[in-house]
Structure 1
Amino acid sequence: MAYPGHVTAPVTVRSARPTDAAFAAPLIQATIGPVGLALTGAASDGEAEHILRGFFARSVHRLSFENTWIAECAGEALGVLVAYAGSDAPALDAAYRERRRSLGLPADVASEGQPGEWYVDTLAVSEAARGQGIGARLLHEAAAQARERGLGRLGLLVEQGSRAAALYRREGFRVAGERTLGGHRYRHMVRPVS
């Protein structure tokens, strides 16, 4: 079903299933770009996307269906949220360290999440659904998840100059520092969970 271009029914958020890989993996790679290349050891976005499709259905890693939620309207998938406890980040990266080792690459994978935060690893909305509040809806879902887990803040990284930074500022995120991942500079933004 083609997305009609505007949301006319309520947007719901559900836990992802392994079968969501075909929708989620391309959006995830398009959003994380150089980080996806670094995690997978891939030489191109297409190769990384293919690898992430396979990884998506597996358990216990950062980009697993287990850490993913899908926003949808009338059964049509519109957006993806990948989130997890920041303190779990090093363990969730073990699968990528092992993949890099198997390719003969250095196994150093920079974990992104920080202890004490519910880390929004990836927030992505399909191109046709952008600008309609789907990203904000997914951030509200992330805040609810943080509250359920007793975590007092949301955290995320945003590449400098990204248009998404405006959404994050509107949603109450503030810059708390900077990080370099995959050769790119990112701002660490945080927001208290109220």
Structure 2
Amino acid sequence: MEPTAEPVAPSAVTLQPGTTRSRFQTGAEQGPIHIRRVEAQDIEFAARVALEAFHDKVEYAVGKSRMDAAIELTTSILHRSPQLWHRYYVALYEGKLAGTMVIKFHDDKLVCMGYALMNTNIGPTQCYVDTVGVDAEFRGKGIGKALMERADVEARQRGCKSLFLWVTQNNRAVRLYERQGYVITHSFGGWFTGWASGCRDWYNMEKNL
């Protein structure tokens, strides 16, 4: 099904180091971090970094020897599914692909992680931050922060009142999310989530807009 028309933020976000908020641009000026929607030439990178963001869980699901095959399969699926691209974003640092993000809304489906965590619903005024991943070469440069700021912008454009995400309790990214205004609303998990995802203990984190 083709996605319905919706208001969108400017196609590019440029973030200068040391700034506290993004500047939206569609012109020629470029800052170190530039965020845009995924394009065909980005698919292999986006698929790889998205899976690497869940490396332990993907490896648990498919086995260490099949990680490369999982990346190839995900790349192939995305190449054949341009109707999904409007939910994928890439960050470029000085013109080089550096990170990726996937967000979802009420009319989208939570599939793999949704079933594993026993929750497949996104509320009508919610935005789900599915994936934020930064290539190892570019970590520590504020790219994750910039991607999450873009999620805020997209959520506001859709009229959302909050964003939420799921993260394992021992993930260092919890601190990043807290700095971005997310709070832990509750913890969840157990034998089924451990069996399905390889991780028993999770946080639900939310941010009000």
Tell me the TM-score normalised to structure 2 length.
0.70
**Whole-Å Cα distance in 2 between the matches of residues 36 and 89 of structure 1?**
19
* Structure 1 residue identity aligned to 2:178: R
Q: Which residue of 2 aligns with 1:84?
A: 104
Check the 8 A contact 1:59/1:66 in 2, yes or no: no
TM-aligned CA deviation for residue 137 of structure 1: 0.5
Deviations 1:148-168 (A, max 9, x none): 001111111111211111100
Amino acid aligned to 1:123: V
In structure 2, C-alpha distance between the alignment counterparts of 1:45 and 1:129, rounded to whole Å: 22
**Counterparts of residues 78-157 of structure 1 (less than 5 Å):** 78-90=98-110, 93=111, 114-115=122-123, 116-157=125-166
Q: State the SS of the aligned residue for 1:167.
A: helix
Post-superposition CA distance 1:104-153 (Å, at most 9, x none)? xxxx6655563132111100111121111111110000000000001111
Q: Does 1:65 align with 2:73?
A: no
Give the equivalent residue in structure 2 for 1:191: 207
State the 1:35 CA deviation.
5.0
1:170 paired to 2:179 = yes
Q: CA, structure 1 residues 162+191, in 2 after alignment: closer, same or farther (shift >3 Å)?
A: same
Of all paired residues, the percent bearing the same amino acid is: 26
Matched with 1:101 is none
Gaps of 5+ in 1: 1-6, 97-107
The 10-residue stretch of structure 1 (137-146 or 27-36) with the greater mean CA deviation from structure 2: 27-36
Unaligned runs of 5+ in 2: 1-16, 18-29
Structure 1 counterpart of 2:175, which letter? A
Whether the 8 Å contact between 2:50 and 2:101 is mirrored in structure 1 is: no
Superposed CA RMSD: 2.6
The 8 Å contact of residues 126 and 161 in structure 2, kept in 1 or not, is answered as: yes
The separation in 1 between residues aligned to 2:59 and 2:73, in whole angstroms, is 10
Aligned length: 168
Cα gap change, 1:71/1:162 in structure 2, threshold over 3 Å: closer, same or farther?
same
Q: 1:60: Cα distance to partner?
A: 7.4
Measured against aligned partners, the alpha-carbon deviations of 1:52-71 in whole angstroms (never above 9, x if no partner) come to: 1112223378xx43311011
